[in-house]
């Protein structure tokens, strides 16, 4: 493959080495051969005729990755809160109906402690990375 960059749009074009007509047209059109495709953090420096790290792209990519990572962590937190709620509801019902066993009362307390801990995850000084995930009562009993 041979890679070219359009000096006007900065668009990257890749041609098979045997596509000589396309390559000749690109060169005649003022496209610059750039050797390879850029990494996500690079931009073509026309004056130096090379790929360089672009601080704006680095910052934008970092922000995008951090946002995606935070979104994934929140989704995990929400999933764990849902799991806790599904475990808590029938245990709380048993207590409300005065039919809960001592084991169910103890388990309800563990699940509520777990739910509070999950809900407070972003109060950790190192939130959102890494998150010190609480251990669920299911995993404690395993």
| Domain final residue pick, 20, 37, 53 | 53
pLDDT at 80: 95
Structural domain of residue 115, as residue ranges? Answer: 57-141
The two structure tokens encoding residue 29:
């059109």
Q: Are residues 23 and 84 in the same domain?
A: no
The total number of structural domains in the chain stands at 2
Same domain, 70 and 24: no
Residue with structure tokens 């074009």? 13
Instruction: Decide if 33 contacts 4 (C-beta within 8 A).
Output: yes
Q: Mean pLDDT in each 10-residue stretch from start to end of the chain (142 residues)?
A: 92 90 89 93 93 94 87 89 96 97 96 94 66 86 59
| Residue 123 sits in the same domain as residue 88 | yes
Q: What is the model's pLDDT at position 113?
A: 96
**What residues contact residue 118 under an 8 Å CB cut-off, 6+ apart?**
77, 80, 81, 84, 133, 134
**For residue 50, what are the β-bridge partners?**
45
Q: What is the pLDDT of residue 125?
A: 57
Give residue 7's pLDDT: 92
């Amino acid at each position: 493959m041979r890679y070219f960059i359009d000096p006007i749009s900065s668009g990257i074009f890749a041609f098979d080495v045997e596509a000589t007509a396309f390559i000749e047209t690109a060169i005649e059109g003022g496209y610059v051969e750039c050797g390879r495709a850029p990494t996500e953090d690079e931009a073509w420096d026309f004056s130096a005729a090379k790929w360089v790290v672009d601080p704006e792209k680095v910052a934008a990519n970092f922000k995008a990755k951090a946002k995606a990572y935070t979104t994934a962590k929140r989704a995990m937190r929400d999933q764990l809160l849902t799991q806790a709620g599904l475990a808590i509801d029938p245990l709380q019902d048993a207590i409300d109906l005065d039919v809960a066993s001592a084991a169910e009362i103890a388990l309800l307390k563990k699940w509520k402690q777990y739910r509070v801990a999950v809900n407070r995850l972003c109060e950790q000084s190192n939130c959102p990375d890494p998150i010190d995930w609480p251990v669920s009562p299911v995993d404690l009993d395993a």
